[in-house]
Homo-oligomer: A and B are copies of this chain.
Amino acid sequence: MGTPPEGPSRRITLADVGRAAGVSSATVSYVLNDVPNQKISEATRARIRRAVEELGYTRSAAARALSTGRGDTVLLVLPPWPIGPLIAEVIDGLTDDLGRQGLSLVTRRELPQRSVAALWRELAPAAVIYFGEVDVAERQAMRRAGTYVTSISGQVSDDAADLVTSTTGSGPLQVAYLAAAGHRRLGVAVPTDPRLGSLPDGRLAGIRAACAAAGLPAPDVRPVALDVAGADAAVAAWHGSVTAVCAYNDEVAFAVLHGMRRAGLRAPSDLAVIGVDDIPTAPFADPPLTTVKQDIAAITAHVSRLVGAGIAGAPPPPHPTRDFLSVVSRESA
Contacts and interface: CB of A to CB of B under 8 A. Distances in A.
Interface of A: 1-2, 4-5, 7, 9, 11, 58-63, 65-66, 69, 71, 73, 78, 83-85, 87-89, 91-92, 95-96, 99, 104-109, 111, 114, 118-119, 121-124, 144-146, 161, 226-228, 250-251, 254-255, 257-258, 261, 279-281, 283-284, 286, 288, 313-315
B59 A62 contact: no
A88 B95 contact: no
Task: Give the oligomeric copy count.
Answer: 2
A228 to B, nearest CB: 5
A62 B71 contact: yes
B58 A62 contact: no
A84 B88 contact: yes
A140 to B, nearest CB: 11
Contacts of A5: 144-146
Given A61-B122, A279-B281, 11 more contacts: A2-B313, A7-B144, A9-B146, A61-B65, A62-B62, A62-B66, A83-B91, A85-B85, A96-B109, A104-B122, A255-B284
Interface of A is mostly: mixed
Contacts of A91: 83, 91, 107
B107 A105 contact: yes
Contact of A226 (B105, B257, B280): B280
A275 to B, nearest CB: 11
Contacts of A104: 106, 108, 119, 122-123
Contacts of A286: 258, 261, 286
Contact of A122 (B59, B107, B145, B257): B59
A26 to B, nearest CB: 18
A192 B306 CA distance: 36
A244 to B, nearest CB: 19
Given A105-B107, A119-B104, A145-B9, A66 B60 contact: yes
A318 B173 CA distance: 53
A2 B88 CA distance: 31
A82 to B, nearest CB: 8
Contacts of A146: 4-5, 9
Contacts of A92: 78, 83, 109
Nearest to A283: B228
